[in-house]
A and B are shown apart, each in its own frame.
Chain A
Amino acid sequence: MSIQILMPALSPTMEEGTLAKWNVKEGDTVTSGDVIAEIETDKATMEFEAVDEGVMGKILVAEGTEGVKVNDLIAILLEEGESADDIDSADRSAGAVTETVEPEAEAASTHAAAPAAAKPAADVPSPAAEPDVPEGTTFKSQTVREALRDAMAEEMRRTEDVFLMGEEVAEYQGAYKISQGLLDEFGAKRVIDTPITEHGFTGLAVGAAFGGLNPIVEFMTFNFAMQAIDQIINSAAKTLYMSGGQMGCPIVFRGPNGAAARVGAQHSQDYAAWYASIPGLKVVQPYSAADAKGLLKQAIRDPNPVIFLENEILYGKSFDVPELEDFTIPFGKAKIWREGTDVTLVSWGIGMTYTLEAADALAEMGISAEVIDLRTLRPIDYATVINSVKKTNRCVTVEEGFPVASMSNHIAAHIMAEAFDYLDAPVLSCTGKDVPMPYAANLEKLALTSTQEVIDAVRAVTYK
């Protein structure tokens, strides 16, 4: 059977082109790889190579013809033993053999079609209503630092597949002493000091996760993870999707994030909003020691890449931690620190210190604030927030991140879409200022949010 030569698409966007030149004439023998024609696309002149072997039987589009559509029949090649007379007129109907199953282009995604606001503001129960621990649980006081170490140690005891790597995690016992004692217990095979090579060791850990292990990667701080962000986002977060569900990446990236104290602009950034915008990642930013422990254990068991954002200032703070053999907290479940009726305060991580202080001060002023700690930023417990706003009709968010394209913006937009009719005031946010972190003590203080800012914002939305 003769072979049809069709006008090729020579770039991702080409729809038609000019058949600039034929390099063969009828009767010429063609072998695979020969340049048979030159075709001008919108961008360049391209050589068109033969794929099949044969004799040029008929040229159907003359050189110099402009506007030849992709897939139009331009020539017919004869196979061994055929002659030009064999060319069946039926062959000339362009694209006869190229017919394919055309997708039905209608109905794009139902998700895209339905605007969020059109969804009924259904009464989804607040996950935060469920207690984290059974009744009668006893507690002991621990620092966030100890809780994080215990979480890793318990998970490393559970399975050999979990290991820790990072700069100074082993012999130095951790730059912030989070991995204290782990080298002694688990040995150098499982507690691994890396060279200062964030991009490299992050990629290596991602490969180990593809290979079936459960790495915990400690970044000395998340500022340095910017060197590795390509591996975190392009390799860790997207591969499950790109592989059609075949290849997951069970890995935890953890370390201190956000402002410490007086370390300047390059060591003080909060990356929560960056990572929370990536489908495929989960993002945790705990405040208390109990949450740090329960959520880190959960993160290590999660089959997905988890970004676990700690805070240097919180490391030394003590909280009550449940004395349970195996304490985990599911993702997407906020914690209501105190109930209230006049305003909803939404925060997470270090933002909770300002929020709780402000709630105390507000109580003295006769304003009853409900305080919600999101704990995880992807997934977010929207239901708990929305249910609370429906009750208080006002909301203030509190975080240390930059204000533009922030988590606060996202939460405010969500509340507007889901509970617009319940709002008696705009949602306000207290965030870090829109400036690189200054060094001077007074300016640094000014660059962060503060308890007073939270109080002022609440007074503004409650008109008090």
Chain B
Amino acid sequence: MATRKAAKKPNASKDDLLQYYEDMLLIRRFEEKAGQLYGMGLIGGFCHLYIGQEAVVVGLEAAAKEGDSRVTSYRDHGHMLACGMDPNGVMAELTGREGGYSRGKGGSMHMFSEEKKFYGGHGIVAAQVPIGAGLAFANKYRGEDTVSFAYFGDGAANQGQVYETYNMAALWDLPVIFVIENNQYAMGTSVQRSTHSPSYWERGAAFGIAGEEVDGMDVLAVKEAGEKAVAHCRAGKGPYILEVKTYRYRGHSMSDPAKYRTREEVQKMREERDPIEAVKSILLTGSHATEDELKDIDKKIKAVVNESAKFAQESPEPALEELWTDIYADELPQEASA
């Protein structure tokens, strides 16, 4: 099947387009700021940026409704912003501060929001896939018509637990959308070097799971495919696979010298396929917005991001007692209480 491209005429209103532009720009600017704070030593450890992949989460969130859940890997900042989590809380978690979503105890890879039904933030490649199916299991068990989005990478797509999960999801008709964010690399390993038959979504056929490939640099195409997948799941037809072809501009994590691909390859993607530029061009050529209106959005986003960076630096580090809290839901850890 050919890669899904958005219809010639955008299937979105002016307001929708402006919203996608703003949502993607927020992720882009937030991630750039995170990279900067990392460079300043304010963020430590691993920090995996989402720059280049913004259309994936923004397009799919546009297809989701209240009550749907989502779970992803360590490359999670974009997912959190797209589902409406507070940029201040995310940035403060990156700096390991009390105001962070996990009060500084999770870090870049581990944040959660019960309220937004964002279930992490997982550091073990592909562990989130059965968890996403389990969330769908809970939805179905309770008789709700909500769906679960389980995001994972092209590298994760070769883990055994993915296929264990496909089998159970199909067997039990679970309302889960498996979103393979194929950004063509797993750290330094390209898909060509890791995967014999590189069309990941087609593997669903072995389990009787429907799916398709989507152009992940085109937010409207992602949204359209997302709507189809969501309708499939809500209709009780079981799981669906979306293989979203995307690209990360930055290194795997902040410490990646990126010697496995050429600068030209990255530059070409940025210049010719950038998802934000694409929406901007639709907005301008279709006379949906003026340069000035877009500039205003840029300014607004910049202010939000700067505010999050300020909050993330001003929020204090967690109190030392925090070392010993949240180990058990109901009591002190045994070594502390002994």
Interface positions of A (Cβ within 8 A of B) = 6, 8-12, 14, 32-33, 35, 41, 43-47, 49, 51, 70-71, 98, 100-101, 103, 107-111, 163, 189, 194-195, 197, 199-213, 230-231, 234-235, 239-248, 250, 279-280, 282, 302-304, 332, 378-380, 382, 414
26 contacts across the A-B interface (CB closer than 8 A): A46-B255, A46-B257, A49-B35, A51-B32, A70-B39, A101-B317, A200-B130, A204-B133, A204-B134, A204-B137, A207-B132, A207-B134, A207-B137, A208-B138, A213-B141, A231-B127, A239-B112, A240-B328, A241-B326, A242-B121, A243-B105, A243-B112, A244-B100, A244-B101, A304-B329, A414-B338
B206 to chain A, nearest CB (A): 14
CA–CA, A204 and B71, complex, Å: 12
Contact A206 B134 (CB under 8 A): yes
Confirm or deny: B190 has a beta carbon within 8 angstroms of a beta carbon on chain A.
Answer: no
A9 to chain B, nearest CB (A): 5
Instruction: Please give, as numbers and ranges, the residues of chain B lying within 8 Å of A12 by CB-CB distance.
Output: 44-46, 254-255
CA–CA, A360 and B290, complex, Å: 91
Contact A247 B114 (CB under 8 A): yes
Instruction: Please give, as numbers and ranges, the residues of chain A lying within 8 Å of B129 by CB-CB distance.
Output: 203
Q: Which of B131-156 contact A (CB under 8 A)?
A: 131-139, 141
Contact A246 B160 (CB under 8 A): no
Q: Could you give, for residues 234-254 of chain B, a 1 whenever the CB lies within 8 Å of some chain A CB and a 0 otherwise?
A: 000000000000000110001
Contact B134 A243 (CB under 8 A): no
The residue in chain B whose Cβ has the minimal distance to the Cβ of A70 is B41
Contact A210 B102 (CB under 8 A): no
Q: Which of B14-41 contact A (CB under 8 A)?
A: 32-33, 35-36, 38-41
Confirm or deny: B1 has a beta carbon within 8 angstroms of a beta carbon on chain A.
Answer: no
Instruction: Please give, as numbers and ranges, the residues of chain A lying within 8 Å of B135 by CB-CB distance.
Output: 207-208, 210-211
Contact B326 A245 (CB under 8 A): yes
Interface residue total, chain B, C-beta cutoff 8 A: 82
User: Which of B39, B44, B71, B100 makes the CB contact (< 8 A) with A207?
Assistant: B71
User: Which of A163, A195, A240 makes the CB contact (< 8 A) with B168?
Assistant: A195
Instruction: Please give, as numbers and ranges, the residues of chain B lying within 8 Å of A47 by CB-CB distance.
Output: 257-258, 263
Instruction: Please give, as numbers and ranges, the residues of chain B lying within 8 Å of A163 by CB-CB distance.
Output: 141
Q: Could you give, for residues 165-183 of chain B, a 1 whenever the CB lies within 8 Å of some chain A CB and a 0 otherwise?
A: 1011001000000000000
What's the dominant secondary structure at chain A's contact region? Answer: loop
CA–CA, A460 and B121, complex, Å: 54
Interface positions of B (Cβ within 8 A of A) = 32-33, 35-36, 38-42, 44-46, 69, 71, 100-106, 110-114, 119-124, 127, 129-139, 141, 160-161, 164-165, 167-168, 171, 249-250, 254-255, 257-259, 263, 270, 313-317, 320, 323-331, 333-338
Contact B134 A240 (CB under 8 A): no
Contact A51 B36 (CB under 8 A): yes
A25 to chain B, nearest CB (A): 19
- Chain A CB within 10 Å — which of B39, B40, B122, B257 has the most? B39
CA–CA, A330 and B194, complex, Å: 50
- Chain B CB within 10 Å — which of A49, A197, A204 has the most? A204
Contact B255 A103 (CB under 8 A): no
